[in-house]
Each structure stands twice: as structure tokens, then as C-alpha cells.
Amino acid sequence: MTTIRRTTCRANGIRQFYLEAGVGPPVVLLHGFPETNFAWRFQIPALASSYRVIAPDLRGYGETDKPASGYDKRTMANDIVELLKALGVGRIALVGHDRGARVATRLVKDHPDLVDRLVVMDNVPTRIVAREMSAKAAREYWFFMFHQIPDLPEALIAGREHIWLRHSFSEWCHDPTTITGEAFDTYVRAYSAPGAVRGAMADYRASAEDIAQDLDDADRKIKCPVLSLWGEDFGAVGGLFDMKAVWSEMAENLTVAPIERCGHLPQEEQPEVVNKLLLDFLKGWNG
């Protein structure tokens, strides 16, 4: 049975909470929205047999601090860089889902020497979402706009976190009952904590800064090997974008893997498929 260590570390000025398991070449897992590092519960045991797995809660999420500022992706990427320094970790393989993929993409752009290979899961880069915005896209990305309204989401969601999360999980998964029972209750507890909804909203409210950062180096492609995987049944990603074309614009050395019968949460909806894809892609990563 895999031993998962639950640990905190102060890095980049905030207290960060992370899960850690296994020994070997380091693999860092960055969760998305509306999740926490609990999202990786199926991947950590599968990877920990060969790798040192580190899965932090991002700034504003879970048990990590939720300060008033610092949610642009460069700062959030630097959170991870400083955490790795504190842990004595050098070069890594990096996996990011959704918002975590945005952090991961900025990290590899700003610190290319730190990342040996990158996995991005069910994510369209922020500047491309903005560039391709249309009436059809706006229907899929309504929550991007809603989350950026100051104060209103927090006021409407307070005490109704279960309704908000139930809608998101049901709408975004191919099987609406994917996140139920204790898993659903775990997320409700996380997002019911003081500051948790505000932290997640602050992540989205940094979009203008994120786009500006992305535009600054839009012409510089990621050089390390990149695996882009996504659920074929999520309207806002695979249903709306040519994902191979999107990530070919971002990366020089690209592998793509659409996943059938899967929505926005591949690591939770199709964990065995995702685990195989990750293990295959990580072969040869020896630290």
C-alpha cells in the first residue's frame, strides 16, 4: 500500500500544503478547478511505485494559503518553483490539469531548464481562449465571466457550495455521477472553508494578467516533450477546439491523446486510461 505523506512548507511567502509519495525521479501534479490535490488520488499510487510524486494545493485552493493577491500564473508558477527549492528538488516532470495546466505552462515557459517533460490535461491556453472567443465559446465559458465579477460569486455561493459544485461536476463529466459520495463531500468541505471560493475566483480574476504574460512570449514554443490529453466529451475543450492544432501552436514536440467517454476530469473519470498514458509518457524520465 502506498504511503502518502501530508505536509506543509512555507515557500514564496505562503504556506503550501502538498501530498508526497514514493521515491525516484520527481513528478509534480498540479490540480485544476473545481478541485484540490485530492483529484490525484488515483494517480499518486500508480506513479509512486517508480517516482517521487509531489502534489501541492495551488495558491487559493485546498489547505494552501489564500492571500488577497498573487494569482497571476507567473506568481503561481513561482510558488511551485520555490516549493521545489525548499524540498531540494531540481529538474522535474510536470503534469497539470485545467488551471494547474495554466500554471504548468507558465512555469515551463519561465523556467525551461526545470522541466524535462510536460503533460497538460483538458486545457486550452488562456490567450487562445480569449483570441477565439465567440458567442458559441461564451456559452461554454460562461463561468470564466461569472467568476471574474468582484464579490458576487462569493455572495451567491456561500452556504450553497454543494449546489455550485454539483452543477459543475455533473455538467462537466461524461458520466454525471462520477464525483459522488465521499469524493463529492471532500470537495464540498474544501470549498466551504473560509476564503476557498474567493481563492478560486481570484485565480480566474487574474485572466487579464495571464493573457498579457502569455502574449509576451507567444512566439516562443515549449521545447521539452509535451503530452496533451483531454476528454472528448467536454464541450469547452475537445468539443470546441481542434486540440492538436491548439497545442501544436504551443509546443515543438507534441503528443496528443483524446480520451473517449470522458469529460473535463480525465484523471477522475478515466483514471486507468490516464495512468497508462502518464506512465508511458514518463518512461525514460530518470531524474
Q: Active-site positions? A: 98, 204, 264
Judge contact between 157 and 150, C-beta under 8 A. Answer: no
CA pair distance 75, 106, nearest whole angstrom: 9
Cell of 60: 487559493
Grid coordinates given for 240: 470546441
Do the beta carbons of residue 172 and residue 263 sit within 8 Å?
A: yes
Q: Measured between alpha carbons, how far is 277 from 116 in angstroms, rounded to an integer?
A: 17
What is the chain's Cα-based Rg? 17
Distances (CA, A) of 248 to 146, 194, 238, 282: 30, 40, 15, 20
* Torsion sign over Cα 122, 125, 126, 127: negative
